[in-house]
């Protein structure tokens, strides 16, 4: 008998987790939960912990953790599929048909809907009926990093839980040196870019070097995480679902890398801010706004290399003029 699936260590004992634990223990958990936050891996971990407790029992009770969550006969999973990473109406209807059937071995059924914001509008409308009249003894866990992208009629019918990231810094080959070189580049910009043509050319070459290295780091990190995740996935996933998962992993890592660039920018500026450098304050605010703008465009399918290039070239102008 394996132990119960743990909560993410960084979140264990937090108010949200405490509320979930008490609701599960008292069998008062809502039939539909929207789990959202900035880090999708954290959200998935929480969903698995909830599902394990509902399907396999509480820690210390007989029969706890009989099945791994996604291999449990009464756990049903819906994911985006294909390069477009959409959840189709057909796949949504298939899930609904599965959860209409009585549970096989557990007292309840659980459906985990990954990246529910990727639902096609037709699929969302199909699913809305199930939210309005959920099957008996069924818990629906909707997972997303973009709750605002859901239909208002869906958001209004689920209980919301937002979780901060429980992940650690990205550990990918070449990433730590990348951040060091980025900070060093900022330092050279703030010291003096002047009108020296050679200095300007050096800064621009550095930009394109950072862009190229960023792509290599992201590709390497995605390959490593995908190989790890693939071993844990159900064997019956089709090719379209696997493509969508791998793309989702890349997007998640990309978001975390950009978040660390933002953090590195803030850390670089902090000592200068404490010295009362108003020019640094304005440059930092402007740079972060530009970074957030470009990260937002990534959700509209802007290539990450183009987004990073735009941010770095903007940074060259912003920090040199401070």
Q: Which two tokens stand for residue 212?
A: 């190229």
Residue 109 host element (H or E): strand 109-113
d(CA 273, CA 266): 10
* pLDDT at residue 210 in the model: 95
The pLDDT value given to residue 53: 94
Which helix (DSSP H) or strand (DSSP E) does residue 140 occupy?
strand 138-144
Cα distances from 61 to residues 20, 24, 90, in angstroms, run 18, 14, 38
Contact 103, 134 (CB under 8 A): no
**Rounded Cα distance, 147 and 266, in Å:** 27
Structure confidence by residue, pLDDT tens digits, 138-171: 999 999 988 999 999 999 999 999 998 766 666 7
Average the pLDDT over each of 40-44, 59-63, 96-100, 135-139 and give the range with the smallest value. 59-63
Residue 195, pLDDT > 80, answer no
Domain positions in the chain are: 15-163, 175-320
Give just the sign of the alpha carbon dihedral 100, 105, 108, 110: negative
Residue whose tokens read 């809305």 = 128
SS in 3 state form for 253-281?
Answer: HHHHHHHHHHHHHHHHHHHHHHCCCHHHH
Per-residue pLDDT, 57: 76
Bigger pLDDT: 5 or 66?
5
Dump pLDDT digits (tens) for 266-313. Answer: 999 988 888 877 788 888 899 999 998 888 888 777 789 999 999 999
List the strands of the sheet with 138-144, edge to edge: 75-78, 109-113, 138-144, 32-37, 159-163
Q: Please state, as a whole number, how many other Cβ atoms lie within 10 Å of the Cβ of residue 74.
A: 24
> pLDDT tens digits, residue range 66-80?
788 888 999 999 999
C-alpha closest to that of 189 among 258, 265, 125, 263: 265
pLDDT higher than 60, residue 253: yes
pTM for the structure as a whole? 0.70
**247: confidence class by pLDDT, cuts 50, 70, 90:** confident
- Which string of b and e fits 100-137 if b means at least 16 CB within 10 Å? eeebeebebbbbbbbbbbbbbeebbebbeebbeebbeb
The number of angstroms, rounded, from the C-alpha of 162 to the middle of its chain's C-alpha atoms is 12
Q: Decide: helix, strand or coil at residue 31.
A: coil
Cβ partners under 8 Å of residue 259, min gap 6: 38
Across the chain, mean pLDDT equals 86
The CA distance from 135 to 83, in Å, is 32
Q: Which two tokens stand for residue 238?
A: 């089709």
Closest by Cα among 65, 7, 53 to 29: 53
Q: How far is CA 170 from the centre of its chain?
A: 13
Distances (CA, A) of 269 to 3, 170, 189, 280: 45, 22, 12, 7
pLDDT confidence band for 197 (50 / 70 / 90): low
Instruction: Give Cα separations from 143 to 59, 105, 134, 208, 298 (angstroms).
Output: 24, 25, 17, 36, 20
CATH class of 15-163: alpha beta
Report pLDDT for 276. Answer: 75
Residue owning tokens 């919301």 = 160
CB 138 within 8 A of CB 109: yes
Res. 192 pLDDT band, cuts 50 70 90:
low
């Amino acid at each position: 008998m394996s132990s119960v699936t743990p909560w993410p260590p960084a979140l264990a004992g937090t108010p949200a987790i405490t509320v979930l634990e008490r609701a599960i223990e008292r069998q008062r958990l809502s039939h539909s939960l929207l789990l959202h936050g900035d880090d999708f891996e954290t959200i998935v971990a929480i969903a698995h912990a909830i599902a394990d407790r509902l399907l396999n029992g509480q820690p210390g009770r007989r029969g706890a953790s009989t099945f791994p969550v996604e291999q449990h006969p009464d756990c049903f999973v819906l994911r985006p599929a294909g390069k477009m990473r959409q959840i189709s109406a057909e796949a949504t209807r298939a899930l609904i048909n599965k959860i209409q059937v009585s549970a096989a071995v557990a007292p309840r059924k659980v459906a985990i809907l990954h990246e529910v914001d990727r639902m096609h509008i037709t699929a969302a409308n199909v699913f809305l009926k199930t939210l309005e009249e959920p099957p008996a003894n069924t818990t629906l866990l909707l997972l997303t990093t973009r709750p605002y992208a859901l239909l208002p009629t869906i958001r209004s019918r689920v209980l919301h839980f937002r979780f901060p990231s429980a992940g650690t810094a990205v550990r990918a080959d070449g990433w730590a040196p990348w951040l060091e070189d980025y900070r060093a580049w900022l330092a050279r910009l703030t010291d003096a870019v002047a009108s020296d043509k050679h200095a300007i050319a050096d800064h621009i070459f550095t930009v394109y070097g950072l862009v190229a290295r960023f792509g290599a780091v992201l590709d390497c990190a995605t390959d490593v995480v995908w190989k790890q995740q693939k071993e844990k996935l159900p064997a019956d996933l089709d090719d379209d679902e696997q493509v969508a998962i791998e793309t989702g992993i890349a997007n998640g890592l990309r978001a975390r890398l950009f978040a660390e660039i933002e953090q590195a920018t803030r850390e670089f500026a902090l000592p200068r801010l404490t010295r009362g450098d108003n020019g640094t304050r304005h440059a930092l605010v402007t740079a972060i706004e530009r970074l957030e703008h470009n990260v937002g465009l990534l959700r509209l399918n802007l290539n990450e290399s183009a987004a990073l290039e735009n941010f770095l070239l903007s940074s060259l102008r912003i920090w040199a003029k401070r």
